[in-house]
A and B are shown apart, each in its own frame.
Chain A
């Protein structure tokens, strides 16, 4: 018997119109329990609309979403009890001190042990005794990270969470996400840059102008990505390279051929070897290229 795959988040035909303007249209998506799903799209593509729908902050025009068995509209508070939410620019009650703020949110969640958020604060190196208005944007965002993780939610909904965090803290944040997933949590992570999610996500969906264009594993996306290969020949590179399977374009300069290949590079290498290739340099596929290809003509 194989693994039983269970949806932690099941989204069906989720649609939101603001007047005539579409926020998100007919979104169908299943995120499995224990998965990190990267939700990618340029600004204004519907990421935040989707996330605010999941949290019940706005109500759908049609369609539904079920989080860990709880309909986010009909059973909102219970669905949200299982979620941790972090927006990119967290607004806080700035007259409160960090620990008061976290205690208040913890209270509304039914109680969170102070030891838990103090431990996270120590780890992220943020002072909980300061008033929130005195904190830098980055430190306030750390408070946001703490409130999203402190109750060990089985589903994390993160909307461009690392905006405003410096690279070191971004790495700590990624570590926190990995630990949480190792514990069995599911993560729904939005971003407008692929590099932010590719190291964390199992699968990514690419969203543009309210439509989900593509869902694939990060590896699958790499397959789709054109790979750059440079090959040195004893003399002018042979024309036969152009005919090899998967080659999308070739430029030559002197004895070197610069190729773009989609899918496997086997056929090209075989042809190259047959023509006495001297040296081969390959480069990692650039996922940003795939992302750009799918979202070209977007609002960016």
Chain B
């Protein structure tokens, strides 16, 4: 007699939960957005406060402040995330001043702030800088040696992450800096089965200035009349004039196939209305360049333009929290000549659904690094990602005397002190 009643109660609870969930979806549809649920679940709006504690090492200012003072352009280029992450952690509630209770340790070293006069970061001193920082923290605090860095995380937003080079072949040759093999890397680069992407890395979007993008918003009832939009290089004339190396030939293929197609608004010009034009387009191409990631993805998400990602095996930002297959269109590089067929054969309902997902404000927030930080933004998604890795098993703690990392591995030039 008791069992049927208990079963009935459980069934009733499940039924109401089911009904409520459907109701929630319908309500959201009337608000013209849809909830985003990735493989990690519905986690974009999670609050990391209380789920983890981060200890920020106090490094001498030559690793951070002095570098920034030398070149304040580091705050506006697309690698500025490393600096803003430091500032965010300094004043965040997840920060703890007691390292004994910390789950994660953060090292504020700005490795991507050595800029050429044109504003491009030179990665040649970065390995030495990173190595010197790690030597400092391993000698002044016991926490590095305790786990050989397995509970430390670093922000390395450069082209190929911790491989510290802008050319892919050289980067692959170098591999990830040996000292960072056990640490968690927060980087913009993501490509499956690539040397420069570690298993547990967190992929983040490149930095795009939020105020600048907000300033160029146009009324949402402006009709979207451009079918496909792209502005950028197709041939990198300086480094690869014949094509074939740059973007693995994909961008050149886009140009040669679609330069005369009226549905494709593509060119190399740099218009002042670039942001406004994106808001009048249905699809925005995000092909790979020298590295597979691009700020176009962020711009497309902010402006509601469906990103068409042409980069084989790419790992997109926060891939476990954001279901990119449902939001963007993925086109294999070998399928680029058929791009127009692929895009026009998408059913309109699917297009509308993708636009609804893009219109979700939590989606847009997750791609931005606003100053000051706001709930649901990229900083919080990084912390959420870190929190999802907890709790750890005790095996990361090394037994006394055990050594895994090889401190002399790597090219000879890296071993020079910085």
Does A associate with B in a complex? no
Binding site for A on B (CB under 8 A): none
Binding site for B on A (CB under 8 A): none
